[in-house]
Amino acid sequence: MGVPVTATLLPLFVKLDGRSAVVVGGGAMATLRVRQLVEAGARVKVIAPEIRDEVASLAAEAHRRPFREEDLDGAWLAVAAATPEVNRAVARAAEARRIFVNAVDDPGRATAYTGGVVRRGAVTVAISTGGRAPALTGLLREALDALLPARLQDWVTAAEVERPRWKRDAVALPERRPLLLRKLNQLYANQSPPQGEPRVPPGVVSLVGAGPGDAALLTRRAAERLRYADVVYYDALVHPEVLDLAPTAHRFFVGKRAGKPSLSQRTIEGLLVRAARRGLRVVRLKCGDPFVFGRGGEEALALTEAGVPFEVVPGVSAAIAGPGLAGIPVTHRGLAAGFAVVSGHGETSYGPILDGLSPGSLSVVVLMGLGERGRIAERLLARGWSSQTPAAIVLGASTAEAFTWRGLLGELGEASPPPGRSHLPGTIVIGAVAALSLASLDSLDSRPKVPDAVRDVARTA
């Protein structure tokens, strides 16, 4: 079943806009494929006994059940991203229906392969190793991305404008390429450089904090570094408007999200070193602040050991900005004289810190801990914290999708985001301050009532 891995492949760019695609599987790899298909305009149906909320929110249909052969009826493309046994069943059903199938991590059963993709406006460059060497595909994609100009869309526009003239004048095809080359050279001749002079010399790495999301919350120095950057390595959750501040830079995504494929930290550090040694102005763009759970310290040490000069451009940390934008001060006279910020990745990270806190003594702020919220609540309750302690979850702070859940510590484990928002970055706040609502004007009419006991303490302290 399926073509041999060594078979010669025919490269095609397939138009899936409005057409049906079926993804069997609901985990990390299914998430990646569903996102790619949705970006291509496909109408995606997902089938799996367990489906991530993010996958379900992106798909046109989500069926939480085992795969059936008839699920492929009417599909133009199938993706098998489940167990090997289920993937074999999908491949057989697709072959019987003459439907191309992309089998994740099973190239021998696939008849279609995804590749490393570089996009510049209307230009799409794809690289494939036939599923045999995905890591090499990624490296080749990075190399091409570094070579291709950032303003390649301008080339497309120039060629699009000239084409009708060539057809009108009956210009032969071999003669069109020299004409286009001269036109493109004119684009570079007329291109005006950014105003002012960069204050960072070539070969320097800037570790830049992108803040909680909104580009307007960047520091002036962060915006300046992006403006003059030659290359930007950015993390997950960095808002597109922030990247727009680096119009002439090559931009590479190197972010990490739980359960999803990502570059290792050592690989990222190697990229920074090599780019700086090539004489480029490098920006390492991180959400929040580089030194608040951003592994900026590790990258600074790696650059120091490699003899590469660097600077730190602090950012507004989501630990403070997230709650603040939801109207929650992490300290408040009479309620909390301090706060503790912990990483929610695992109990080995937050456990020892939470165990050392007296119940209610500080505000507790948890970053990257939505998946651990139940265990965090259980741990605090076991340490003597009251189940009536106010708690809040702030999702997508500073973005148009921002949402805040408010409740009690005893309810935190059962709190869930609204449909379609589970993918947003979240900050958990535990303590008396979580009951306050000092938000901006757009939330005054709907803000929850502050408990009387909390309000009285805040007024009289």
- Residues annotated as part of the active site: 235, 256
Is residue 352 within 8 A of residue 323, CB to CB? The reply is no
- For residue 119, which phi and psi values (nearest 5 degrees)? -120, 135
Residue matched to tokens 């009285």? 456
Cα 210 from Cα 227, distance rounded (Å): 13
Is residue 134 within 8 A of residue 127, CB to CB? The reply is no
Cα 237 from Cα 407, distance rounded (Å): 26
The token pair at 87 is: 């993937």
Cα 230 from Cα 218, distance rounded (Å): 19
Is residue 24 within 8 A of residue 111, CB to CB? The reply is no
CA dihedral angle for residue 145, residue 151, residue 153, residue 157, rounded to 10 degrees: -150
Encoded amino acid at 201, one letter: P
- For residue 428, which phi and psi values (nearest 5 degrees)? -105, 135
Cα 102–Cα 107–Cα 111 angle in degrees, nearest 5: 45
SS3 315: coil
Is residue 381 within 8 A of residue 409, CB to CB? The reply is yes
Beta bridge partners of 1: none
Residue matched to tokens 């059940």? 65
Cα 114 from Cα 258, distance rounded (Å): 22
Radius of gyration (Cα) for the chain, nearest Å? 26
Residue matched to tokens 């739980």? 258
- For residue 429, which phi and psi values (nearest 5 degrees)? -125, 130
Encoded amino acid at 269, one letter: E
CA dihedral angle for residue 33, residue 39, residue 45, residue 49, rounded to 10 degrees: 40
